[in-house]
Amino acid sequence: MNHPWIVYLTAWLSLRIHRARTAPTRGASAVEWVIITAIIAGVALGLATLIRSLVEQQQEQIRSNFGGGGGGGGGG
């Protein structure tokens, strides 16, 4: 276990673990990003649902104004 690469890797991993344990804001920052992303996704889904219902209402109104459409005309 005295190989230079193993010593280096052990020291590097120890440093990374120490930094992860002593940086309390990193985890909080990740949680904040998840919450913000979830809120944005929820708003986008709500807007998509609203727009879809408005388009369907307009479609029904157009369909009723034209009497359900006519038969296709044949050109003679």
- Name the pLDDT band for 74 (thresholds 50, 70, 90): low
d(Cα 9, Cα 5) in Å, to the nearest integer? 6
Residue 26 has pLDDT above 70, yes or no: no
Residue 75 falls within a domain, yes or no? no
Task: Find the largest Cα–Cα distance for the chain.
Answer: 95
Q: Tell me which of 26 and 20 has the higher pLDDT.
A: 20
For the chain, the average pLDDT equals 82
Residue 74 falls within a domain, yes or no? no
Tokens of residue 54, six digits? 């408005």
Residue 11 falls within a domain, yes or no? yes
Residue 61 falls within a domain, yes or no? yes
Number of folded domains in the chain? Answer: 1
Q: Where in the sequence is the domain holding 45, given as residue range(s)? A: 4-68
In this predicted structure, what is the pLDDT of residue 15? 87
Radius of gyration of the chain (CA): 31
